[in-house]
Amino acid sequence: MRSRSLAALAVAVVTLAALGRADACTSIRLKTTDGDVIYARTMEYAEQQEAGVSVVPKGTTFVGTLPDGSSKGLPFTAKYGFIGMNSHGVPILIDGVNEKGLVAGGLLFPGFAGYASFEPAEAGRTIAQYEVVNWLLSQFATVAEVRAGLAQVRVCQGPSASKGITVGPLPLHFTVHDATGDSIVIEHVGGQTKVHDNPLGVLTNAPDFDWMRIYLSNFVNLSAVNAAPKDLAGFKIDPTGQGSGMLGLPGDFTPPSRFLRMVALTQTASPVTGPDAGLALAMTIIDNVDIPMGTVRDVSPAGIVRDVTQWVGAVDTARGRYYFRTYDNKNWRYVDLKEALAKAGTTMQNIPTKLAPDYLDVTATAKPAAMP
């Protein structure tokens, strides 16, 4: 199978960073009572991504991209087949799952990401930051393996321009989970690689993960239990309806508020059993950070930029299914990992998300998801 030069393929992906801000990605991980691990994440962007599900067979070969845009970085061959979401059909995954149940996702990390400086002598083990998800999913089966394997690579800032197109820096940090529920966050700050345990399973954007964990201390009063009435000098004050224990939970779309909201909901939700119940819970929780068109805006030289939740993905690691829904189609669909890899053979495939729920082609199936 021929090598894939991601330098040229990346243009469609990284060009998006220059067109509109996208600081609102959110991800969560849940475990059911019987040990199934469920992952879900949102993807926000101002510019339409034309997303698709990439099917990447075992044995696919890649070459890392250097900061000058050349394909002379780390060569690697996929030990495991994997699937996940792309942009514009380019097989550089934003998130996904491999056949061992390892899940990896890249989320925007603006203002804090700082990758290793490029060293020509280290070119042979260098990859661009937007190639990390592909590398993780293709090489590792567990979080423990990821921890040990991070020393194998040098992650550098990818090219800021390619083929005459100026692109954004695309700052990323990464969430990683395996089929046991073990979770970590990988951040590159000040040229150093930092690996954080993530027992909460939640990640959003900036500031860094250490700051986010400290931020939770401001909300230790939050509870799933309604507040008790108070008697003030004979004047009784009753809670107004249900949910008074969560009074003060931020509802805005800033990264810290989304982080807190996801921690609060994932940690207080009643335990569920089985993958269908796990998916229903994860899909319900992740809906709480959906951004409607026009609710979040920024002003650019080209005019008003409106951030929006373009798609939401979810993974059932036990059954090897990648679920998704889009802004225009709220019906959850899924691609079966084993089936898609079997149909793809030795060739990478792309399944556009705009296809109808019952669409079937010769490579893979995007199936309507039957919810309990």
The model's pLDDT over 241-279, given as tens digits with 9 standing for 90+, comes to 999 999 999 999 999 999 999 999 999 999 999 999 999
pLDDT at 21: 52
Bridge partners for 315 per DSSP:
39, 322
What span, in angstroms and rounded, lies between the C-alpha atoms of 325 and 32?
22
pLDDT at 299: 85
* 199, amino acid identity: P
pLDDT at 46: 74
User: Low-confidence residues of the chain, pLDDT below 70?
Assistant: 1-23, 161-168, 355-372
* 1, amino acid identity: M
Query: Is the entire prediction scored with pTM above 0.85?
Result: yes
Q: Do 308 and 293 meet the contact criterion of CB atoms below 8 Å apart?
A: yes
List helix spans (H) across 216-254. none
pLDDT at 23: 63
What's the sign of the alpha-carbon dihedral 317, 318, 324, 325?
A: negative
Q: Do 201 and 177 meet the contact criterion of CB atoms below 8 Å apart?
A: yes
Q: How are beta strands 172-177 and 103-108 bridged, if at all?
A: antiparallel
pLDDT at 310: 94
pLDDT, tens only, 269-297: 999 999 999 999 999 999 999 999 999 99
What span, in angstroms and rounded, lies between the C-alpha atoms of 115 and 73?
15
Q: How are beta strands 103-108 and 90-98 bridged, if at all?
A: antiparallel
210-216: long-range contacts (C-beta < 8 A, 24 or more apart)? 212/255, 212/256, 212/259, 215/256, 215/259, 215/260, 216/260, 216/263
pLDDT at 366: 54
